[in-house]
Amino acid sequence: MELYLVTDEAACLGRDFFWVVEEAVKGGVTMVQLREKALSANAFIDKAKRLKELLAPYKVPLIINDSVEVALACDADGIHVGQSDMPFHELKNRFPAGRIIGISAETRENVQEAEAWNISYLALSPLFATPSKMDTGNPWGMNGISWAKRNSRHPLLVIGGLSRHNTREAILNGADGIAVISAICSSPSPYEAAKELGSIIAASKSGIHLPPQMEFPNK
Ligand SMILES: Cc1ncc(COP(=O)(O)OP(=O)(O)O)c(N)n1
Ligand SMILES: Cc1ncsc1CCOP(=O)(O)O
Ligand SMILES: [Mg+2]
């Protein structure tokens, strides 16, 4: 989940959706979430099945946003739910054990509540305000990552406004991975964008010599 692509057809700017995703995967994306807000259930399932076939040879897991029905119908590797979606206690009974379950945390209370759950990752949402999703709560900011790192046992993702300019700082503050829409889907080259973000993540992880507080004294 280090470099996690959340898809958005509109963010692909008229280019073929499957081409954008495949370029991103070739560039190094490690997980893909199909996020569809306007499709019928059948159309969502058809798109998910096609995407699963595309991803299989690359061994990149497919995550379905919001819908357990779609996730089951396409035999997805995992599901992502937010605070207004199916609650974890219900999801864990509906979704086969061993698959990926990701949850968004919008507040410190959400992070604390998730401590009791067996989930695959927690996504701090949003890290920064973003035009890609307007109905969000208050942004976590970089300080929020270090707080969550100290208070959560789960792998931590950050989402919202991530780009080549702030990925290093997010990782140095404690994020295990980043999730993006526009930085990849809307890039002139989704391949190059993914490659660059992946390199920044790898370099930030291998090059940590100072604790984040020392690198960023104001955080
Ligand atoms: C990886 C990841 N993190 C957060 C979200 C947001 O989920 P949610 O709050 O349920 O909002 P919608 O995406 O459903 O609009 C996400 N999708 N993926
Ligand atoms: C789906 C989602 N959840 C929180 S912010 C967001 C959108 C992220 O998009 P971008 O990477 O373009 O800021
Ligand atoms: Mg949701």
- Determine the pLDDT at residue 97: 94
pLDDT confidence of residue 67: 97
Relative to beta strand 121-124, strand 100-105 is parallel
**Given this model, what pLDDT does residue 214 score?**
45
- Name the residues annotated as catalytic: 35, 104, 133
Residue 1 is predicted with a pLDDT of: 82
**pLDDT score recorded for residue 167:** 97
Taking CA atoms only, the protein residue closest to ligand 1 atom 3 is 123
With tokens 């660059």, the residue in question is 196
pLDDT at 209: 46
Separation of alpha carbons 103 and 82, rounded Å: 6
What is each CA distance from 129 to 89, 126, 134, 141, 175, in whole angstroms?
29, 6, 8, 9, 17
**144 marked as part of a ligand binding site:** no
What is the 3 state secondary structure string of the chain?
Answer: CCEEEECCCHHHCCCCHHHHHHHHHHHCCCEEEECCCCCCHHHHHHHHHHHHHHHHHHCCCEEEECCHHHHHHCCCCEEEECCCCCCHHHHHHHCCCCCEEEEEECCHHHHHHHCCCCCCEEEECCCCCECCECCCCCCCHHHHHHHHHHHCCCCEEEECCCCCCCHHHHHHCCCCEEEECHHHHCCCCHHHHHHHHHHHHHHHHHCCCCCHHHHCCCC
Question: Which CATH fold would you assign to the domain 3-215?
Answer: TIM Barrel (3.20.20)
| Residue 104 CA, closest ligand 1 atom number | 4
Burial of residue 134 (number of CB atoms within 10 Å: 0-12, 13-18, 19+): exposed
Nearest ligand to the C-alpha atom of residue 133:
2
Structure ipTM over 0.95, yes or no: yes
Residue 8 among known ligand-binding residues? no
Q: Judge residue 84's burial from the number of C-beta atoms within 10 Å of its C-beta, 0-12 exposed, 13-18 middle, 19 or more buried.
A: exposed
Closest approach atom of ligand 2 to CA 163:
11
Does ligand 1 have an atom closer than 6 angstroms to the CB of 65?
yes
* 186 labeled binding residue: no
Residue-wise pLDDT tens for the chain (219 aa)?
899 999 999 999 999 999 999 999 999 999 999 999 999 999 999 999 999 999 999 999 999 999 999 999 999 999 999 999 999 999 999 999 999 999 999 999 999 999 999 999 999 999 999 999 999 999 999 999 999 999 999 999 999 999 999 999 999 999 999 999 999 999 999 999 999 999 999 999 997 544 454 445 444
Cα–Cα distance measured from residue 188 to residue 169, given in angstroms and rounded to the nearest whole number = 24
- Cα of 188 vs centre of ligand 3, distance in Å, is 27
What pLDDT, on the 0 to 100 scale, is given for residue 113? 98
Q: Which ligand 2 atom sits nearest the alpha carbon of residue 185?
A: 12
Reading the block at residue 25, the tokens are 């995967």
